[in-house]
Structure 1
Amino acid sequence: MLKTVIIADDLTGANDTGAILAQDGMKVGTILKTSDKDHFKDFDVLCISTNSRGMLPAEAYEKVKNAANLFENKEALFFSKRIDSTLRGNVGAEIDSIIETLGNDTIAIVVASFPNSGRVSIGDLLLVNGVPLQNTEVAKDPTSPIKSSRVTEIVKKQSKYSVGYISLDQVLKGEKVIKNEVLEKAKDNKIIVIDAQTLNDIDEIAKGCVESKLKFVAIDPGTFTAAVARVLFKREEVVKAAGKILCGIGSASNLTREQVNFLKSQRNPLIVKANTIEFLNKDLKEKEINRVVNEVVEKESNYNILVVTTTIDEKDVLDFSEIKNTYKFDKKECANLITDAIATIVHRIIDKLGNKIGGVYTSGGDVSEDFCTKIEAAGFDVKDEVIPLAIYNKVIGGVFDGMPMVTKGGLVGNKETLVTCVDYLETKISS
């Protein structure tokens, strides 16, 4: 079912933005001939190129208007006006067109940043790999030369509407402040330009804009559009993977907590934290294992990523000196009991959910080994290296023969590694 429409001023821009949304599991199509729109009935996202970057502003206005009017039920769709990452073309005229076509109550949110391509907006200045826009090659562009680095200035010169601005220092305060800033700026402006330096900034902007409940259109090179789509259409509704990803995480390092929390900020996982101290008490261990398993099984229907972990916050880390006095276990014995319990939980969840689980991610060598022992695996068919020391395999033998699995050391990678591994695993099981 169609959810998002992307109108770009050239074909490569349309495809580029579409590809970003496709990475989130959406079914994305690019229409080459508007007469063929009926061929794309089952797509989540449709991209259309107006090829209007080099046109006169009035012509570009009509092209965008005609593209938007291809869709009758506009109120039910999220629209994006994809702009060039260096602000070339008829940015202002096309913003005016999409605003007026979608209705007078529409606000245009301009987020010119594209961090993965080195484009960031700080202090209203668009920097390309650290260089102000006006000092780059686009200043000499034969059809759309850029003479200013200020995003608001470029938009104001081309649009007939007033332009508001939200600075990076406000963005860094998070979605609630952004929401309030957007609502305030929208009182006097039809267009709002917002700074962003990182992907996390853009995610916060997306959340704040959606929380504002304003009707808005995304004006950006693609990253902001994808972030809004993730907020509007929760990942579990659009992921086409052949099964869920189950993550068993036994490491209690600071890096592991960063990875779990980054996954939470970027995706929509179900995260269930085990009360690890109870794994050390033979009278409480089985009860806690069953609690975690049952919570995952009861809630899984709303999520495509299921995470069982021993730690989310620093306070979750056990004090082994105190444990030694209470339970008479040393650090190694405690770790063995905890990893065995996590492996048991992962095994039981798969046993209960069956084919709903398409792949497994385990963090911590002991968890991986204990899990494979419990499922009676003979070994791994090693397929690929996701990142160094995070390996994609297929299980050989045992009750889950052939299951896709990523194994990773507990102290491996950076904060983004868990997201990278989950995305990789989803790609493998969906194909």
Structure 2
Amino acid sequence: MRNKSLIIADDFTGSNDTGVQLRKKGFPIDVLLFPTNKKLSNSIVLDTESRLLSSKDAYQKVKKMTKSVVENNEFRFIYKKIDSTLRGNIATEIKAVADVTHPDKIVIAPAFPKIGRTTLNGRHYLNKVPLLETEIVNDPLTPIWTDNLIELLQNDFKDNIALHPASNFDDKKWSEYTIHVFDIQNDNDLIHLTNILKEFQEKILFVGSAGLAEYLFEKERLPTLSVVGSISEVSLEQMNFAESKGIYSVNVELNDLLNDSKIDKYSRIITNSLQQNGDTILTVTRKRSDYTKTIELFNSLGILDKKEISRIIRESLAKITTSAMSKTPIAGLFLTGGDTAIEIINECNSTGCQIISEIEPGIVQSTLLGGDFDGMKIITKAGAFGKKDSLYNSIQTLK
């Protein structure tokens, strides 16, 4: 699952207040109290319940639990959730996660401006008061000993720590250091930071409270795949309009419709288009005359029954579609032409669909039930239905 993320938190309430940031963005998210080495479908928060442990025990527990989860799962983001008032075994637990995941860089920003937690010159504040001058210093279970993030980290990470002022990302420091602490004064600073970090290709371990999580976990905008199996003038007009808006299209050559070995060829073409161009349309007809040529080609090969010709075309489109879907994630399917739609649904091994809403009169959004792509969003339309922008608008709805 390309959008799957892992959060490691040291207590249950922290697990929930960070996990909910993903849920608000539409990600399914589970909180696990016990680790598992099984393949996971959803993003997860791993609750290690290690805040009250000794530093040594916390390291061992966090390392063991993290290792069990990452062994058989790949994650888009790995996030070490820490307390926004710096309670707990912060540096030790960051090191435990890093020793398992081996990041290129570690980004640390515990600020949560919406509830008064900010960082300035590496020092952490609660409602504009340094933490060491607040009641947090007398916490009965986890009293803090410093409000300086550099001091907090030095025992475990030595001198490999850089401090970045708010809204002033230092490229030179980024290249020279592994550990990066960021001053954060407001939500705009968090937005600025996450926008920069998402552009980097390095493997980053993100460390923060629910504040950083709120802006880091944006749902990836996956491309859509539209399959136009109708030859109606309305469908062709809709396809042309979508192309005028920048939607890429792939046309299956007539001669390839009778060659099963060409399925892989077009599957690769569609996959590459989805990954490089984004939203993609798959079709066999660009204009009405293409249909006439198709009939003539099949007739020349002794295939005279139009129903048989239609079946061959449907099956080719369905096989190309599902093959591409198995290779790269998509946001959803737009299917026009009822026979084509049902062929693709059957090829997905689905048992049917669950209706969600009517996008326009006669244009319906559903999700697939069961099969290889359970829960996949689809929009279906009879060939002659809709306005010229209906295909384009449906693509935007799926995203």
Work out which of the residue numbers 97, 109, 112 in structure 2 matches 1:111. 109
- Quote the offset at 1:23 in angstroms: 0.3
Q: Any conservation in 2 of the 1:7–1:67 contact (CA below 8 Å)?
A: no
The TM-score, its normalising length taken from structure 2, stands at 0.54
Match of residue 30 from structure 1 = 31
Residue type of the alignment partner of 2:190: I
What SS does the corresponding residue of 1:19 show, helix, strand or coil?
A: helix
- 8 Å contact from structure 1 (residues 99, 107) kept in 2: no
Q: Is the 8 A contact 2:11 2:50 kept in 1?
A: yes
**Are the counterparts in 2 of residues 95 and 159 from structure 1 also a CA contact under 8 Å?**
no
8 Å contact 2:95–2:156 — kept in the other structure? no
Which one-letter code corresponds to 1:202 in the other structure?
A: L
Q: Letter of the 1:51 partner, please give it.
A: E
Match of 1:355 among 364, 367, 370: 364
Question: Partners of 1:197 and 1:74 in 2: how far apart?
Answer: 35
Pair 350,34 (structure 1): closer, same or farther in 2 beyond 3 Å: closer
Output one character per residue of 1:144-201: Cα deviation in whole Å (capped at 9) or x when no partner.
222433222222245446211101151xxxxxxx3xx2x5324443311011222232
- Which blocks of at least 5 consecutive residues in structure 1 are unaligned? 171-177, 238-289, 305-348, 358-425, 427-431
- Pairwise CA distance, 1:138: 0.8
1:19-418 to structure 2, matched below 5 A, reads: 19-35=20-36, 38=38, 41-43=40-42, 45-70=43-68, 71-73=70-72, 76-103=75-102, 105-157=103-155, 159-160=157-158, 162-170=160-168, 178=169, 181=170, 183-230=171-218, 233-235=219-221, 295=245, 351=360, 354-356=363-365
1:159–1:141 CA distance, 2 compared to 1 (3 A): farther
Q: Per the alignment, in what secondary structure is the counterpart of residue 17 of structure 1?
A: helix
Which residue identity does 1:34 align to in structure 2?
P
Residue 337 (structure 2) aligns with: none
Confirm or deny: 8 A CA contact 2:105 2:205 kept in the other structure: yes
Q: Deviations over 1:233-254 (max 9, x none)?
A: 41558xxxxxxxxxxxxxxxxx
Looking at structure 2, the residues matched to 73 and 207 of structure 1 have their Cα atoms a distance apart, in angstroms, of 29
State, as a whole percentage, how many aligned pairs show the same letter: 27
Counterpart-to-counterpart distance in 2, 1:352 and 1:201 = 44
Shift of 1:62: 1.1
Which position in structure 2 is the counterpart of 1:16? 17
| Alpha-carbon displacement from aligned partner over 1:1-43 (angstroms, at most 9, x marks no partner) | 36111110111111111011100000000012225x75x8331
Query: 2:364 and 2:222 mapped to 1: Cα distance?
Result: 16
Q: What is the number of residues matched between the two proteins?
A: 250
Once residues 222 and 10 of structure 1 are traced to their aligned partners in structure 2, the CA distance between those partners, rounded to angstroms, is 13
Taking the aligned partners of 2:95 and 2:220, their CA distance within structure 1 comes to 29
Q: Distance between the aligned counterparts of 1:214 and 1:78, measured in 2?
A: 11
Segments of 5+ residues of structure 2 without an aligned counterpart are: 224-239, 249-276, 281-329, 332-357, 367-396
Task: From the superposition, tell whether residues 25 and 236 of structure 1 become closer, same or farther in structure 2 (CA, over 3 Å).
Answer: farther
RMSD (Å), alpha carbons: 3.7
Counterpart secondary structure, 1:168: coil
Shift of 1:127: 1.7
What per-residue deviation string (whole Å, max 9, x for no partner) do you get for residues 104-149 of structure 1?
x532100111122221112222221222111111111123222433
**1:16 alignment partner, SS class:** helix
Preserved CA contact (<8 Å) 2:149 2:181: yes
